[in-house]
Structure 1
Amino acid sequence: MNDWQSWAAIAVFVGAYALIISEKIHRVAAALGGAALMLAIGATDDKSAFYSEHSGVDWNVIFLLLGMMMIVGVLKKTGMFEYLAIWSVKRARAKPFRVMVMLIVITACASALLDNVTTVLLIAPVTFLVCERLALPVAPFLIAEVLASNIGGAATLVGDPPNIIIASRGGLTFNDFLVHMAPLSAVLIVVLIALCRFMFRKTFVHDEARADEVMSLEEREAIRNPRLMIQGLIVLALVVTGFVLHPVLHYEPSIVALLGAGLLVAVSTVETGEVLAEVEWPTLAFFAGLFIMIGGLIETGVIGEVSKSLASAIGDNELDGSMLMLGASAGLSGIVDNIPYVATMAPITSDLIEAMGGSGSHVMWWALAIGADLGGNATAIGASANVVVLGIAERNRQPISFWQFTKYGLVVTAVTVGISLLYVWLRYFALA
């Protein structure tokens, strides 16, 4: 990594990241500007940026988002989210903390079966309506849900994209993830709820008048178009089934989402233009720019050098190696997207495991998965779900700043990663 392009790529990425953090210009402009500079200095090119599976735009993520945004856009017109908002508030007796706990648990469980981006796309509209009804600030609830989605997604093979990469490279099954990752994920959700009770304590103000008003509502009256809602729910059920059966059907989630969106638009009476107007286009553009910038770091060998340095530091010591792998993966995944990081690190991890004489569900795979999944909570752009929620909040004129998210994300990441280090030591070494 001695050529000028590598150092120029680092400078471009750091500069764009600094602009995103400072919020002096819009994060979409910073990401697209950084992507343009990566192309201009030759750190990447059109083939690598747009066609490379390893270092280009992850079109599976882009089109998964597009398809699910279209489906959510149709469901918004039915009144279904208003129904769910009133129902959930009534079940929680209109107590703000109970509402947050309910949303956290629902989000975490859904993220274990769906990918976390799909989950937050479905839960965010309900959250806005709940907070509006109870006159509560929406940001704490959205932040809590994103943190829950990343933790819940770690539980299963299909919950987070890095898990799919790790499973493929390590020959791991759905049941392997349930046995090794789900118990930790369940414990961390309980920890998250306790942290939220402390971090957002000023939010949980019970408005008796508002509560009585919501408790008197009849949720069924919120449904504006029952036929469209039934059509939407059938399509959504088919899409979710397609996600869950990915290991059997071998259809990428993006394909399933686009097929579902196309089917729903075709069978419903909703205008295509109205559906496309609900798509978060700035969020999609931000992802494209971010992928190209990270691709520049991959093409110039920067990420490869970081991964090799980590592998060299690990050596053949399983205990120290797994601790370093988990901690370093968490730190790096808070800065760069965890998908290209895991894609780069997976073959190196495989070689490390072979050198250690291990195979199958080796502790190093779980250290990589835990670090990559939980590290995404550290910053506002550490995981796809974080970026999506920030885009939704901005669209609804209740923006969440980079630091507003990150100051809570760092606390949760530090605590959950610390507990995870203890979990790995106890389960795979002390009690093995």
Structure 2
Amino acid sequence: MIAVAVTVFVVAYILIATEKVHRLMAALGGAAVLLALGVVGSEDAFYSHETGIDWDVIFLLLGMMVIVGVLRKTGVFEYVAIWAAKRAGGSPLRVMILLVLITAIASAFLDNVTTVLLIAPVTLLVCERLAVNPVPFLIAEVLASNIGGASTLIGDPPNIIIASRAGLSFNDFLIHMAPIIVVELIVFTLILPLLFRGSFTADPDRVAGVMALNEKEAIRDSRLLIKCGVVLLAVFIGFVGHSAFHIEPSVVALLGAGLLVLVSGLRPKDYMPSVEWETLLFFAGLFIMVGALVKTGVIGHLATLATDATGGDALLAVMLILGVSAVLSGVIDNIPYVATMSPLVQQLAAGVADPAQSQALWWSLALGADLGGNATAVGASANVVVLGIAARAGSPISFWEFTKKGIIVTAITILIAAPYLWLRYFVWP
């Protein structure tokens, strides 16, 4: 069974990476083979928290996609697009920097998937107005969302898993993760001109046309916008306080979507086209394939080998977890990876006497998984969502087009994180 699970995953991953077949066909085909051969059953695929489809992720995405669909009818995306372009003086580079900073900050307080769902439509409109290729902008934003989301407990789903297992609070993440993420974001912003060199040429006539626009005229339905604002505020409060309210973010998103549909008076055909069904089904297939690796013990075995190699050295363990997490989170989605790795890190942390060094093991897992999610197009949920949005907008992003940029950013951010962990928890604890 182990050989079958590994073979199916590797073949599907190669097909996704080489784009020999559509990524949805590769993911669902791989899942179908595993189900047909009995490597996983319906109980494993549909009902298990450890090996099955993460329905919280699926329904969080579905709820936010519906909310975005309703919000699109107000004209607010056009408003923000024109506002951003005008504030940046029509310069594509300044537009990218502005949208990257907005995305990173928003990802710290909303989850990064929700953020890219809200920012991507704005980006597509800005680029259309300026007549520039939106692909570099979308890639930059999703990379920024994964960096910014690492700074708080609620910004990236792996952080929620880590907080639950390690007993860490919202403030713990702010104190330990936010400082290094600010540094990472500054460095990321500085390398944007080099990373996306050649992507910042705009037609002067189009720039002049944008500067002459009045963004207030873009709002088509102010009453609906007010309703959306109230519901979005409630959803945001639900996201931030979900642990206190004992309600999952996915339920918050679905409640928000249902309430907004109810008060908007819109028909399904007005907002349902915004639902990325291909993306949701791709996630389902990917979760089943990764779940097979979890069930057969492949991921657990790899994680055990990594932790056994430390030999009781806390610093070595921290660096090894950081590096291994960065690599594996780029290959498989970082949510199931962290869910599998957390018990092993908990065992390691229990054997470290120094409290600061013990906690550093958790921060290395968080940084490695969150930042490593940028490495490939399937490393994090937000990556997959943006690829789906780009494809539907007629500006597809290939696996390698994303990954060539993502690997560079991951390498730089991990290299910055390593000395931070060493200095803060081992040199000046």
**Which category describes the TM-score, using the shorter chain as reference length?**
over 0.9
Q: Is the 8 A contact 1:78 1:225 kept in 2?
A: yes
Distance 1:194 1:277 in 2: 37
Are residues 1:238 and 2:208 paired? no
Following TM superposition, the consecutive aligned residue runs of length 4 or more in structure 1 with deviations greater than 4 angstroms are 358-361
Please show how residues 139-178 of structure 1 align to structure 2 within 5 Å. Answer: 139-178=135-174
Amino acid at match of 1:269: G
Task: Provide the residue aligned with 2:255 in structure 1.
Answer: 259
Q: Structure 1 residue 358: deviation in Å?
A: 4.5
For residues 395 and 181 of structure 1, the distance between their equivalents in structure 2, rounded to whole angstroms, comes to 35
2:220 aligned with 1:224: yes
User: TM-score, normalising length from structure 2?
Assistant: 0.98
Question: 2:416 is matched by which residue type in structure 1?
Answer: I
Contact 1:134 1:207 (C-alpha < 8 Å) held by counterparts: yes
- Equivalent position of 2:131 in the other structure: 135
Instruction: Tell me which residue corresponds to 2:412.
Output: 415
Q: Is the 8 A contact 1:57 1:292 kept in 2?
A: yes
Conservation of the 8 A alpha-carbon contact between 2:131 and 2:202:
no
Counterpart of 2:414 in structure 1: which amino acid? V
Aligned equivalents of 2:38 and 2:158: distance in 1? 28
Bigger CA drift: 249-258 or 37-46?
A: 37-46
Query: What is residue 28 of structure 1 aligned with on the other side?
Result: 24
Once residues 334 and 114 of structure 1 are traced to their aligned partners in structure 2, the CA distance between those partners, rounded to angstroms, is 22
How far apart in 2 are the matches of 1:342 and 1:116? 17
The gaps in structure 2 that reach 5 residues or longer are none
Structure 1: how far apart are the matches of 2:377 and 2:46? Answer: 25
Alignment of 1:21-420 (within 5 A): 21-359=17-355, 362-420=359-417
* Deviations, residues 26-71 of structure 1 (Å, cap 9, x unaligned): 0000000000111122221100100001110000000000000000
Aligned sequence identity (%): 60
Cα deviation, 1:152-175, whole Å, max 9, x if unaligned, reads 000001111111111111111111
In 1, are the aligned partners of 2:153 and 2:159 still within 8 Å (CA)?
A: yes
Cα distance in 2, alignment partners of residues 153 and 113 from structure 1: 8
Please report how far the alpha carbon of residue 74 of structure 1 lies from its aligned counterpart in structure 2 after TM superposition.
0.7
What is the distance in 1 between the residues matched to 2:134 and 2:273? 23
Give the CA deviation at 1:276.
1.8
Aligned partners of 1:43 and 1:297 also within 8 Å:
no
Aligned AA for 2:162? I
Partner SS for 1:334? helix
Q: Could you give the per-residue CA deviations for residues 55-96 of structure 1, whole angstroms, max 9, x where no partner exists?
A: 100000000000000000011111110000001111111111
Question: One-letter code of the match for 2:417?
Answer: S
For residues 8 and 312 of structure 1, the distance between their equivalents in structure 2, rounded to whole angstroms, comes to 26
Deviation at 1:277, TM superposition (A): 2.2
Distance across 2 between alignment mates of 1:167 and 1:203:
39
Q: TM-score, normalised by structure 1?
A: 0.97
Q: Give yes or no for the alignment of 1:424 onto 2:421.
A: yes
The number of residue pairs the alignment matches comes to: 428
User: Over aligned residues, Cα RMSD in angstroms?
Assistant: 1.1
